[in-house]
Amino acid sequence: MKKKRDQLTAFLLSALLLITGSAVGTTSAWADEKSPPSSIARCEQAGISKGFAITFNAEDESWFNAISSVKVSGTGYKKVTSSWDFDDRGENYRVLPTDKQVLIGEAFSDTTATCVISANGYSDLKLTLNKSKHTASIAEDETEKTYKVTAEAAENGTVSVDKTTAKEGETVTITTNPANGYVLKSLSAADSNGKAITVTNSTFQMPASDVTVSAAFEKKPEEGEKEIDPKSISVKVDSFNGLWQLSFGDSKYPDAITKVSVNGTDWEAYSFTPSTGGKYRVRDGALEFAQKSYSQTAALKSGDVISITAKEYKNLTFKVSIDNGKLTVSQGTNPGDDMQLHVRLVGSFESALVNQKGYDAISGASTNVTQNKNSNASVEVALVKTGTNPADSDWKLLSESDIRVQSKGSSVNIVNHDDPAKGNDSGMAGVYSVHDGSVTLAGTPAKAGTYDISVTITDELGRKATGNALTFRIFSGEEMLENQLVLANCTKTSDGKYMYDMEPWAIKNFTLDPNNETVVVPEDLKAWYGSHTSGTYGKLGYAIPEGTMQTQTLILPKGCNLTLVNMDILSSVKILVQDGAKLTLRDSVVQGAVEVENGGTFSMNYNDYGGGEFLNGASINGKLILKDESTLENAKIYSNTNNIANGSEARRNTDPVVVVNGNVTLKGKVFLRGDEAPTGTDPATGKSYTGQTGMQVNGTLNLDKDAVLAVYGGGKDATTSNGGSAIILNGGTITGEGKLIAVGGDGHFGEGGNAVSGNGTISVTDAYLEGGASVSKSGTPGKALGDGIKLAGTTNRNLIDGSIGSGIDYDNDTYWRDILSVPNLDLYPVEKNAPGEQPGGDTENPEKPGNGTDKPEKPSTPAKPSDSGSATPKPQGPVNPGDNGSSGTGNHKNKNKNSKQSSVETGDESHTILWATVMLAALAGVGTITLRRRQKKQRPSH
């Protein structure tokens, strides 16, 4: 037993030593805390327009690696480790050791906030964050400031304070001494702006302001006067007449009332129903006030103090509070409630150009289809306890809040940022909408400059607040791209690259030198935004006549991987993609030319992140030129060249959308469609214009392994009389281990377009080639292969000549009509039927018995409406696909039947008579023409 007791004693002593040692060690650790960094290297935005990226110096590495937590405005932020998890607007932070950089989210509501970064073994580092400028600075310890306390002289008594100066947060005690025969009537305090300060039991908390204390004394009631307890007051609502009805514990009291004052101002006794402030009525044992005022004089509001004088009663003073349609009474003599009104302006104002018309009638960055307002700003309010900062959940749209604004005392303020003394010389005026809470700008921009726009509101209770300012810029319209497109005007992202929000939204000039209008894109620029709204475009360049060479050049240098978003590149501009550069188009329109040089890459309407997906919105109304050793990768390309005007000029363009010069590589999937035919007669042929050709190959196009190229000649609508060829080979070759799909455009009153025209060779793994239909009985359908086209014996093929005079089954059509989705590749079957090469290299031509591959059925979906516009005709000399078709070597296409006939193109005319006989039989069997088109609303595109 003694042994066990000794063991227990030893254990307790050991534990005590461990605890003591830990405590000593802890004390030592606190005592040895090191100083945090005394400066930062730089601070910039962490995201597109939010967050902080704070970079520290190399000598602070030890402190940086010891960072343990981050707090902003007292709120602990969550640490994240990847760029996907970091939210530049959220309560989170991310540490980047390599860059000595801390990314901090911008979740606080005020303009500035205190940020505390803690690190093990170091004192806390305190920073001041400013989100209007996105700056961070070391917070300096300041000696606490003191403020004056002044007691105003009073009649019939004295008032004094125990402190004549005090620091913020200190308690100040007020002492009052009424003169003989008088009592204290009211006691109040106000800061230097006249704002009331709550006084409780003759004390108040000192704010960060000078304070003035006031007291009022009144004659002491004579003995025998009755007294009304405010607690006995009850309130009813007369909803029909809109009245507050106050009843008292003594039923005789209302009839004894001789005077009523509110906040020291006497109100008028009224014999009729009061409908405004400034009046009261006594009726049926109740004191009545209007709930709402229909005049300049405000009705009762929360925080008002009512004083009542009545015969044979002591003076009665009480305070009212109004919330959610209820009025309550409490003891109190100081007017005003303990709620503070806050207002802020959220959103943005797009920049404008001097003399720009209809700023908020059309989109600021121009749009070819929709009209949007340029202002994207709204007014939010918050009502919280005085001295409390609003939380995110406290903010509501003013139009959806319970705050009732008085027009008098409320305004939208516009001030010249660089010279505030000039006030508002912008030519614009702010307009607030009570319907949706938005702020728009009316007028015509008059003077280039930067302007601050803010909002001041006053509510019906007299609370007033002015919010933050948003920036509004007006540009002259003569800015040079070489001066605007610099990294100083861009936003740096966490990956070290930059994004450019184009300002102004329209730039027509490239350089001061008109003989050398060439601008090089900064290598580190990864995104260029014309706007952040789909369908609303920034404009670069100007319109030049059709057929004119581009006068301005935008160069993407080696290492530049640029995505253009919501941009309209006008016809004066040629974009040159150099070796090692890549251009991607998203929601953008090219009216001029894109030229991809040796080693350059082009893509459009494709998101290559994750698994990859095709997008919508970008189009080429000009031309894409692929030069030797360039790459075309994952693209959905369509043209609206004859549907969208070139400036004020309608085009008549049948030239190919894409031209291949030299040896070009195609990777992934590329879908390409030419536009409908322009209206009018082509002077080169004497016939109606054809639909636009999709692609012309002057060199060699190599399809990567498993790549797909699908090309469609213009001709999906009845406005196209003669369908366009999908592909023209101009002595060119399409080769490789991919699949080629080519479908000629339909001719609705004339000739169908060929799948492939011209002269050249196709030697891909699989080829699906289909001529366009001729809907008219008197027309000529398109061919799968033109006479001058050779098809290698190693190519599997499904060759289908166009049909004539038959109805078109749009639900099962192989033509790519809906640009909002990519074509269904299941509709283009190709069997493993390559005949092999004959001696001497000629194409093998075995007969194929029976029908070819059946075309699978496609689920019934409505056809989409036409994109075609009302372009004015302009003469031009396109290739006429109806003139270069092969002489009857393919099977006719019948879009009423879900089957396709396979045939082998030989280039040999030995079967001319046979196929002519088949053609005549098919024509004889046609009875009627039925066009069934099921339309579905489609988003306009460019």
Mean pLDDT to the nearest integer, 180-191: 91
In the chain, % of residues over pLDDT 90? 57
What is the DSSP-derived secondary structure letter of residue 201?
A: T
pLDDT at 865 over 50: no
33-52: burial string, b at 16+ Cβ within 10 Å, e else: eeebbeebeebbbbbeebbb
**Count of residues for the chain?**
942
Q: How far is CA 558 from CA 38, 181, 528, 580, 819, in A?
A: 40, 93, 17, 4, 32
Q: Are 321 and 339 in contact (CB under 8 A)?
A: no
Fill in the amino acid letter for 233. I
User: In this predicted model, what pLDDT tens digit does every residue of 418-474 receive, in sequence order?
Assistant: 999 899 999 999 888 877 888 989 889 999 999 999 999 988 777 889 999 999 999
pLDDT at 74 (0 to 100)? 83
Given the structure tokens 């879009």, which residue do they identify? 895
**Structure confidence at residue 476 as a pLDDT band (50, 70, 90):** very high
CATH number of the structural domain 230-330: 2.60.40
Cβ count within 10 A of residue 2? 6
Question: Do 230-330 and 339-475 fold alike per CATH?
Answer: yes
Q: Are 799 and 782 in contact (CB under 8 A)?
A: no
Higher pLDDT, 412 or 385: 412
Nearest CA to 867 out of 726, 675, 678, 711 is that of 675
Range among 356-370, 642-656, 761-775 with highest mean pLDDT value = 761-775
pLDDT at 136 over 60: yes
Q: How far is CA 715 from CA 178, 291, 691, 782, in A?
A: 98, 70, 5, 12
pLDDT at 47 (0 to 100)? 67
Residue 859 in tokens = 């689920």
User: In this predicted model, what pLDDT tens digit does every residue of 816-853 receive, in sequence order?
Assistant: 999 999 999 999 999 999 998 765 444 444 333 333 33
Fill in the amino acid letter for 912. T
User: In this predicted model, what pLDDT tens digit does every residue of 901-914 receive, in sequence order?
Assistant: 333 333 333 333 33
Which residues are 165's β-sheet partners?
148
Where is average pLDDT lowest: 105-114, 308-317, 880-889?
880-889
HSE of 247, CA atoms in CB hemisphere, 13 A: 9
Residue 495 in tokens = 């990956």
**Distant-in-sequence, close-in-space partners of 687: CB < 8 Å, separation ≥ 6:** 681, 721, 722, 750, 880
User: In this predicted model, what pLDDT tens digit does every residue of 767-796 receive, in sequence order?
Assistant: 999 999 998 888 899 999 999 999 999 999
Q: Are 303 and 328 in contact (CB under 8 A)?
A: no
pLDDT at 716 (0 to 100)? 87
pLDDT at 871 over 70: no
Cβ count within 10 A of residue 207? 18
Helix (H/G/I), strand (E/B), else coil: 59 = helix
**Distant-in-sequence, close-in-space partners of 917: CB < 8 Å, separation ≥ 6:** none
**Structure confidence at residue 490 as a pLDDT band (50, 70, 90):** very high
CA pair distance 588, 644, nearest whole angstrom: 13
**Structure confidence at residue 2 as a pLDDT band (50, 70, 90):** very low
Strands 658-660 and 623-626 come out as: parallel
pLDDT at 639 (0 to 100)? 95
Fill in the amino acid letter for 245. Q
Residue 670 in tokens = 């590329």
**Distant-in-sequence, close-in-space partners of 566: CB < 8 Å, separation ≥ 6:** 365, 529, 530, 531, 532, 533, 534, 535, 536, 537, 538, 586, 587, 588
The DSSP element (H or E) to which 7 belongs, if any, is: helix 2-31
pLDDT at 143 (0 to 100)? 58
Range among 28-32, 72-76, 475-479, 559-563 with highest mean pLDDT value = 559-563
Torsion angle of C-alpha atoms 572, 869, 568, 627, degrees rounded to 10: -60
In the chain, % of residues over pLDDT 70? 82
pLDDT at 542 (0 to 100)? 95
CA pair distance 675, 753, nearest whole angstrom: 13
Nearest CA to 798 out of 771, 773, 836, 837 is that of 771
Q: Report the predicted TM-score, pTM, of the whole model to 2 decimal places.
A: 0.58
**Distant-in-sequence, close-in-space partners of 145: CB < 8 Å, separation ≥ 6:** 167, 168, 208
pLDDT at 924 (0 to 100)? 37
3-state secondary structure 753-816: CCCEEEEEEEEEEEEEEECCCECCCCCCCCCCEECEEEECCCCEEEEEECCECCCEEHHHCCCC
User: In this predicted model, what pLDDT tens digit does every residue of 223-274 receive, in sequence order?
Assistant: 668 899 999 999 999 989 899 999 999 999 999 999 999 988 999 999 999 9
- On whether the 339-475 domain is CATH 2.60.40.10, my answer is yes
pLDDT at 286 over 90: yes
**Structure confidence at residue 142 as a pLDDT band (50, 70, 90):** low
What's the whole-number average pLDDT of the chain?
83
pLDDT at 16 over 90: no
What is the DSSP-derived secondary structure letter of residue 221?
A: P
- Tell how many helices (H) and how many strands (E) occur in the chain: 5, 68
Residue 402 in tokens = 């319970």
CA pair distance 793, 841, nearest whole angstrom: 9
pLDDT at 810 (0 to 100)? 58
pLDDT at 347 over 70: yes
Q: How far is CA 891 from CA 61, 743, 785, 804, 809, in A?
A: 75, 14, 11, 12, 18
**Structure confidence at residue 6 as a pLDDT band (50, 70, 90):** low
Given the structure tokens 């040079």, which residue do they identify? 480
Fill in the amino acid letter for 903. S
HSE of 838, CA atoms in CB hemisphere, 13 A: 7
pLDDT at 199 (0 to 100)? 92
Domain boundaries, the chain: 42-138, 146-219, 230-330, 339-475, 639-870+879-942
CA pair distance 905, 909, nearest whole angstrom: 10
The DSSP element (H or E) to which 255 belongs, if any, is: helix 253-256
Residue 6 in tokens = 């000794």
Torsion angle of C-alpha atoms 238, 459, 268, 332, degrees rounded to 10: 80
Where is average pLDDT lowest: 4-8, 257-261, 528-532, 634-638?
4-8
Strand ranges inside 8-145, DSSP E: 42-45, 52-55, 67-72, 75-76, 78-80, 92-96, 101-104, 112-119, 125-130, 135-138
Q: How far is CA 437 from CA 344, 381, 429, 454, 455, in A?
A: 12, 10, 16, 14, 12
Helix (H/G/I), strand (E/B), else coil: 8 = helix
Residue 865 in tokens = 């409406």
Strand ranges inside 179-334, DSSP E: 182-191, 196-197, 203-205, 211-219, 234-238, 243-247, 257-262, 265-269, 279-283, 286-290, 305-310, 316-323, 326-330
